[in-house]
Structure 1
């Protein structure tokens, strides 16, 4: 919620400057904070803003007005998870245009509208019969950032990596904290972070699709596995399911873990 956001931002800016921050300050906010008061507060405090916008009719018209030769291909150093399409995105295009927010009011602000677009995939499309007019999903950022297009877009997207980690933790061990005692919850948080890092490491060692999968997917595919333990000739045998689709991933992980350091 954007309620009280203006005073919170003003306090954060004052705190940052009192701690010695003397460089360019850019307030990065999600679409819930795309409001007149937030942007006005940034201007009054002499800081820059970078705010995600909702894709309404006016924003979509501005996005569609960008010509094809203005789009710049980018490749993410780390894939970004797309919640709508439920998949990892590693390639996209970015461009920018000039946009006036809150037009027709005394709070009208003209600044940069940085747009990232991702092509929509059609799972029913037959190879060799591509669509004549491709469709895209847009992600727009309203900003007065002084940085270049690539820098400004990357800086705004940076917190999304942390947000994804938080989402993964909340979907797992941090769905709730087990105790009313701070020390117990502190220990739980430490264990949750260790488990998250180990799960992500397991995904990378398993390779293939698991390298970019979310922790919940990794747990389902190669950790929470139904198996039968058998003892034979003083050795332990683990019988895994036949025709298991994630056998290769599990073998990769097992081989990597059992490898002798050297």
Structure 2
């Protein structure tokens, strides 16, 4: 489950639209996506000045998102967030979810992978890391990532810092050569490395794997972009309640597209962005005719994706109907 917030600009006065932290004007909705399926599980429409790391908002959308996951798949969950999720309230709640025995949650495993700020305490711990302790970073496909290393610094942090956070929290740091023109702090400029940190309660797996798993959270940006192309980028009404309903419709549309990709679309259409999918399939110039007591969907033979459209319709019609 990937949680993230995004700015939606309002081009006119709308109820609860306010100035955002990016000095724009609009809303600041927060949502949760299932990385396995691409489904838009839960969302909350918030004023533009809503905080990025507001614990109550994270708990609200995550609670509703977890409730959307079928019970058989709810026993082992991973929650990922960027640095906005690194709050004591959220990590404490996730830790409780992982260890609680009441309310039918016996045996549930809830792990987290959340961005962590590079504070002066973290910098001091990084300075204590031996040169040979750094391990090679990995790409998402398991290949070695050049000019990037990872290391766990949990044991190098002061005891006061470790005890202030939930039991079992591990702090892992990644360093890499910065891209040309990337801004660096004075600490990073001293040795030429750019540092990023995250925390997790996962006890198994090498630090390279855990770091690559955390960076896969970036896929949520693709989900947000697709949602904005499906209606999230424009709220139509001055009234907050109507815009909140619009957000629910956007979630339905995003889920329909996710399900279509999972069970029906051929490979040629499966990776299409919503705009391309609308052009190639959803807006296909077809005609519905009747004859011989039957209805016929007629697709133009010259349409480049006619065969893919037929394959999609065939897959959809083959889905068993439940009564």
Q: TM-score by structure 1 length?
A: 0.53
Whole-Å Cα distance in 2 between the matches of residues 243 and 157 of structure 1? 40
Gaps of 5+ in 2: 1-20, 24-50, 56-83, 96-111, 127-135, 150-174, 200-205
Cα-Cα RMSD: 4.5
Is residue 127 of structure 2 the alignment partner of residue 94 of structure 1? Answer: no
Task: Give 1:250 shift.
Answer: 1.3
The answer as to whether partners of 1:27 and 1:48 remain within 8 angstroms in 2 is no
Task: Give 1:202 shift.
Answer: 1.9
- Other-structure match for 1:142: 195
Find the residue that maps to 1:230 and give its secondary structure. Answer: strand
Gaps of 5+ in 1: 30-37, 50-69, 77-91, 114-140
Q: 1:212 to 1:72 in 2, by over 3 A?
A: same
Task: Give 1:73 shift.
Answer: 6.2
Q: 1:143 to 1:155 in 2, by over 3 A?
A: same
Is residue 193 of structure 2 the alignment partner of residue 163 of structure 1? Answer: no
Q: How does 1:1-262 map to 2 (within 5 A)?
A: 16-18=87-89, 21=92, 28=115, 39=118, 42-44=119-121, 74-75=140-141, 93-95=144-146, 96-97=148-149, 105=186, 107-108=187-188, 142-144=195-197, 148-158=207-217, 160-204=218-262, 205-259=264-318, 261=320
Q: 1:247 to 1:149 in 2, by over 3 A?
A: same
The answer as to whether partners of 1:71 and 1:93 remain within 8 angstroms in 2 is yes
The answer as to whether partners of 1:203 and 1:211 remain within 8 angstroms in 2 is yes
Whole-Å Cα distance in 1 between the matches of residues 291 and 229 of structure 2? 39
Q: TM-score by structure 2 length?
A: 0.44
The answer as to whether partners of 1:111 and 1:142 remain within 8 angstroms in 2 is no
Whole-Å Cα distance in 2 between the matches of residues 20 and 72 of structure 1? 26
Task: Give 1:168 shift.
Answer: 0.8
Task: Give 1:180 shift.
Answer: 2.0
The answer as to whether partners of 1:231 and 1:237 remain within 8 angstroms in 2 is yes
Q: 1:48 to 1:153 in 2, by over 3 A?
A: farther
- Other-structure match for 2:132: none
